[in-house]
Each structure stands twice: as structure tokens, then as C-alpha cells.
Amino acid sequence: MPDPTPETLLVSTEASVTTITLNRPDALNALNATMRGELLAALRAALRDPETRAVVLTGAGRGFCSGADLRGGSGEREFRRVLRDEYHPIVELLRSMPKPVVASVNGVAAGAGMSLALAADLVVAASEARFVPAFHRIALVPDSGLTRTLVRAMGRHRAFEVLLGERSLGAEEARDLGLVAAVVPADELPATTHALAERLASGPTRTIGWTKRLLNAAEDADLGTSLEAEAALQEVAGRSADHAEGVAAFAEKRDPSFGGR
């Protein structure tokens, strides 16, 4: 696991769920260079940790993440380098990690914070959470995968209106658009998110990872490519211990006990 005392994160593991909390509440958890480095390290540690079978990403205080730290100095303005070296590896790891990742959005998710939240596999939001593109307000283009995410979720014209309409998406509208899985009262958000993550963590972890790979590939693949990828991974899944357990549990009319293997 990562450094037990990172400057900008809180990291804990319970019931096979690793929770990573962005912890700069006074700055609405803005992503400075230190946080980006520590977040990538924490995600890599969760990837390697055999005890971690699901990841929750959330924010401390009243916000999830307000995006890039605009007070971070001249280094933050080396846009291509910062995006390629620091943001892109985080987004790519969230998307490719063969373990489920749940974003628990407790408040505003703005700019790259919105990109970060929507890179998760599932998003659970507090009823007062808001998703704010924000890039246009400072004459920047969306980054960290946000254009791709929104176009695939809602189509080009709706994505244009959201990105350039200088407005935010409330939690319920984001749910209606397919970006959020569930909206709950703020005081129920941690328990609801952790229960969902525990359920995923108790599932067939390798199969979940393979399904995630197929979903990522299917976004751009033609039908034939998707069919072949499904067939190839089904052959692998069919030889797993969890598959054998699932079949046995079905025959014995009991709940399966998956070991993630």
C-alpha cells in the first residue's frame, strides 16, 4: 500500500475495499502536483494489493474535487506535459484497472474533478452534488477524457450544450443522463457507496475485470471485434475458480462465495 501518511490523501482498506479520499478540503480538493502524484501512487498500490478487490474515490469536506489547482504556479501552465505525464496516467488507470472503481461524489466535481469522477466505473452522488465542466469559463478546452465520456453518454449535441452552456449538472440530471448510478442524501452517501463497493468486492473479481475490459473495448469496436473479444475472454472466465464456484452454488441453491480467482 502507499505511504501511510500522504500529504493530500487519506487511504484506508476495509472489507476488501480501499477508499482513497482527496484531502485538501480548504481548496475543495483541487488537484495540485503533489495530489496528482500521490493519487497515482495510491491507485497503483490498490492495483497491486491482492487484498483490494474494489476501490472508492471520494473527497473530504464539502467538495469532491474542484479541478486543477489554478494557484499552482507556472508549472501548471505546461499543459501538454502536465496532462500527458500526470493526469492521463490517472484516468487511464481508473479505466483499465481490473477492479471496480466507484466514485462517491459528495459535492462539487468541477473541471478535471468532473473528468476524474466520470472515469470511475460507477458514480454515486449526494443529492446536492454538482458536475461543473468549468473549462470554458477560463478559456480552456475540456481535458482528462471528458469530451469522450460526455459524447458517448449523451451524444454530440447535448455534450456541446453542457460543455459550452456554462451551467452545471445537478445530481439527478446527471443520473437521468446516465452519468450517475444513484443519488442519495448526503448523510447516506458514505454508507451507500461502501455497501455497493463491498458487494462488488465480494464478486468474481477477475470476471469483473474482464467485463470492464470488454466494456472499454466495446465503446469503439465494431460488432465482429466485440463478439471475438467476448468469446476469447469467456474461454478464460470459464476456466476460473470463481466460475466453478458459481456453477456449484447454483446447483446447490446457495449464494456463491467468490474468492476473486
Total tally of structural domains belonging to the chain: 2
> Residue 229 — pLDDT band, cuts 50, 70, 90?
confident
Task: Confirm whether 2 is domain-assigned.
Answer: no
Average pLDDT over residues 133-143: 86
* Top-confidence range, 76-85, 149-158, 225-234: 149-158
Are residue 238 and residue 127 in the same domain, yes or no? no
Pick 182 or 2 by higher pLDDT.
Answer: 182
Are residue 20 and residue 134 in the same domain, yes or no? yes
Residues constituting the chain: 261
b/e map of 153-180 (b: 16 or more CB within 10 Å)? ebeeeebeebbeeeebbbbebbbebebb
Could you tell me the residue range of the domain that residue 134 belongs to? 9-201
Task: Confirm whether 259 is domain-assigned.
Answer: no
Are residue 234 and residue 105 in the same domain, yes or no? no
User: Would the pTM of this model clear 0.85, i.e. be above it?
Assistant: yes
Are residue 154 and residue 219 in the same domain, yes or no? no
Average pLDDT over residues 129-142: 89
Pick 123 or 72 by higher pLDDT.
Answer: 123
Provide the 8-state DSSP code for 248. Answer: H
Q: What is the CATH number of the domain that holds 82?
A: 3.90.226.10
* Residues ≥6 apart with Cβ < 8 Å to 40: 86, 89, 90, 93
Average pLDDT over residues 124-149: 91
Residue-wise pLDDT for 173-223, tens only, equals: 999 999 999 999 999 999 999 999 999 999 999 999 999 999 999 888 777
Residue-wise pLDDT for 73-129, tens only, equals: 677 778 889 999 999 999 999 999 999 999 999 999 999 999 999 999 999 999 999
Decide if 45 contacts 33 (C-beta within 8 A): no
Cell numbers standing for residue 225: 471485434
H helices within the chain, ranges in order?
A: 33-48, 79-82, 88-96, 112-118, 146-154, 156-164, 171-176, 189-201, 205-218, 223-237, 241-252
Cell numbers standing for residue 153: 453518454
Are residue 114 and residue 157 in the same domain, yes or no? yes
Residue reference for cell 466495446: 218
Q: Provide the pLDDT for residue 43.
A: 98
pLDDT at 163 over 50: yes
> Residue 3 — pLDDT band, cuts 50, 70, 90?
low
> Residue 1 — pLDDT band, cuts 50, 70, 90?
very low
pLDDT at 40 over 80: yes
Percent of the chain at pLDDT > 70 equals 97
> Residue 250 — pLDDT band, cuts 50, 70, 90?
confident
Please provide the average confidence, as pLDDT, over all residues in the chain: 91
Q: Point out the residues that are catalytic.
A: 88, 143
Are residue 189 and residue 221 in the same domain, yes or no? no
Instruction: Please state, in angstroms and rounded to a whole number, the distance separating the CA atoms of residues 3 and 46.
Output: 12
